[in-house]
Amino acid sequence: MSKTALVTGASSGIGESAALLLKQRGHTVVGAARRVERMKELEERGVEVLPLDVTNEDSMLACVETITKRHGGVDILVNNAGYGSYGAVEDVPLNEARHQFEVNLFGLARLTQLVLPHMRDNKFGRIINITSVGGKIYTPFGAWYHATKHALEGWSDALRVEVQPFGIDVVIIEPGGIKTEWGGIAAENLRKTSGSGSYAERANATADGMAKMYAGDQLSDPSVIGKAILQAATARRPKTRYAAGYGARMVLSLRWILSDRMFDRVIKSMM
């Protein structure tokens, strides 16, 4: 049965892939992002597009109200909008740290609040939160990014138990290494924030490694995560978590098996 899906961060990468796959499955799909001009191809392929800034209350209200007027409400919410801003904890301004939480957690949470009444009334809903293996592990210079993703994991688990009696599923998607713009943005922010000063040597080496990895051929295509999102959205009884993409299962297994000190050494060698 066709449902109405809202995919945030749909202007590129994982969000774009998920929107197209859900549309191909026969659902009504709304792709939302700040950069509407980058969603022309989605629109040409039958995906409705709307502007959305998850840090702006009026923007979120307008988006949900428009979907409600057109389609009755949101049945499937894919919370994909987010970003990573790297830098040494000592160097990152707290306003930047707060902004990461605003985008990666609080904006997502507010959008979820806005769609839940319709889902409860219909006794059906799928809330699919894109976290990361970074919600279970950690890397140097990514403390604030990892903090948002660790928080989203716990927030999603609590929400899942709260809304399950209303027929609503909450699913976590944990991508590994995915070939998107994320790595380049994070590396650039790391150089800008900690490329000089006390942390410069290690910060620049880490940024170089990130840039090299994201320019290479090892990472998985965004469609790998798009397919996981499609499965989470359409399965009769979805899993609570899906880990997919380059290195995801391996690194999560190592985190489970190894002690903190041993895993520290693994992370240092990888970075």
Of the candidates 109, 245, 269, 257, the residue with the CA atom closest to the CA atom of residue 182: 245
Helix (H/G/I), strand (E/B), else coil: 35: coil
**Spatial separation of the C-alpha atoms in residues 102 and 152, rounded to whole Å:** 12
86, 145, 242, 246: which is the annotated catalytic residue?
145
* CA distances in angstroms from 220 to 129, 215, 223, 230, 231, listed in the order given: 19, 12, 8, 17, 17
**Spatial separation of the C-alpha atoms in residues 129 and 124, rounded to whole Å:** 17
**Spatial separation of the C-alpha atoms in residues 168 and 160, rounded to whole Å:** 8
Q: How far is CA 175 from the centre of its chain?
A: 8
Q: Is 246 among the residues known to form the active site?
A: no
List the catalytic residues.
145
